[in-house]
Structure 1
Amino acid sequence: MPPEHRLKVLQILLVEDSKSDAVLIAETLCESKFLNKLSIVRDGAEATDYLYKRGKYVDVTRPDLILLDLNLPKKNGRELLAEIKADENLKTIPVVILTTSSAEADILKSYQLHVNCYLVKPVDLEQFVEVVRSIEHFWLALVELPPHQDI
């Protein structure tokens, strides 16, 4: 791992309406050996405010990675993904779909909208934690993320 990765705090935005899933993801990332700051929003509209630094999110830092559920209130994950990938300032942020849907239509549509990765949430607790750890290992340890830039 390059030395700059060990020192950099990676900003992760979790867009998740399930409180239990959000807590589990937060606890797993908290145990990480990689420095990260997790911000959690509960719906697609709140995520849009966060990404465009509106309202209470004026002073947030641009995320290095977005973990996105598909089935969200107010604005669903597909709508948010389309918005992110259509925006010149946001489209380089990697987006990982982490959802309960294994429907072919959802998978296909997500990749058509340029998602970087699509993962189905396991029902089993240990498997769920392992999926989060694999996301963490891949995206925080192996991948070279785009240079950090504030929007």
Structure 2
Amino acid sequence: MATGDDESDGEIGETIDILLIEPNPGDTRLFEENFKDAKLMNAVHAVTDGEAALEFVHQRGEYADAPRPDLILLEPQLPGQSAMEVLAELNDESALREAPVIVLTSSETGESIVKSHDLEADAYIQKPVETDEFIEFVQEVEEFWFAIVKTEAAN
């Protein structure tokens, strides 16, 4: 995590690097726009498939200089390497396991599918469909992040 220089506009003082794994460019744009207005100072790094996600987290290839993500948002329906494979690799490696993973479900069924593969994410949040829902989604991510920070501070 990079440390922010100040807390302006009601933002929290640390910048978090968010890796968004989302194949839909329209959804990516909505995520980026809504996170820009969030209370959390953040940098959203977006990739469109599982292979690029693993390259990013391992800091390989074109992502050699990429920051280690503090938070990962994972769309379950990915082209190429599946989200289940990405989640399994993230869970298998201790260095990667540190970043919390939020699976973006379309419904409770999506959460059940992920869990049926004996894979656990840190949280499951229903993916927004309407533009207005993105604001609520960002607030849920912020609450999740604040809960993690409080837990880490308590330890």
TM tier relative to shorter chain: 0.7 to 0.9
Q: TM-score, normalised by structure 2?
A: 0.81
Count of residue pairs brought into register by the alignment = 143
Structure 2 counterpart SS, 1:130: helix
- Larger strand share, 1 or 2: 2
**Alpha-carbon distance in 2 for matches of 1:8, 1:26:** 18
Deviation at 1:75, TM superposition (A): 1.0
Correspondent of 1:20 among 20, 26, 29: 26
- What is the deviation of 1:106? 1.3
Cα distance in 2 for partners of 1:98, 1:10 equals: 19
Residue 108 (structure 1) aligns with: 115
Q: What is the match of residue 102 of structure 2?
A: 96
Q: CA deviation at 1:128?
A: 3.4
2:125 alignment partner, SS class: strand
CA RMSD of aligned residues (A): 2.4
Superposed CA deviations along residues 79-126 of structure 1, whole A, max 9, x for unmatched, are 10011001111112100001325326414236x312001122243331
CA distance in 2 between counterparts of 1:47 and 1:59 reads 14
SS of equivalent residue, structure 1 residue 97:
strand
Mapped pair 1:37 → 2:32 = no
Identical columns (%): 34
Give the TM-score normalised by the residue count of structure 1: 0.83
AA of the residue aligned to 2:113: D
Aligned position for 2:3: none
SS of residue in 2 equivalent to 1:62: coil
Which runs of at least 4 in structure 1 moved beyond 2 Å after TM superposition? Answer: 3-7, 99-102, 107-110, 122-125
Residue 59 in structure 1 maps to residue 94 in structure 2: no
SS at the partner of 1:89? helix
SS in 1 for 2:51: helix
1:106 partner amino acid: I
Please list every run of 5 or more consecutive structure 1 residues that lacks an aligned counterpart in the other structure. none
Spell out the pairing of 1:2-13 with structure 2 (5 A cutoff).
6-13=12-19
Q: Of the two structures, which has the highest relative contact order with CA contacts closer than 8 Å and spacing of 6 or more?
A: 1
Instruction: Assess if the C-alpha contact under 8 Å between 1:24 and 1:129 holds in 2.
Output: no
Indicate the SS of the match to 2:18: strand
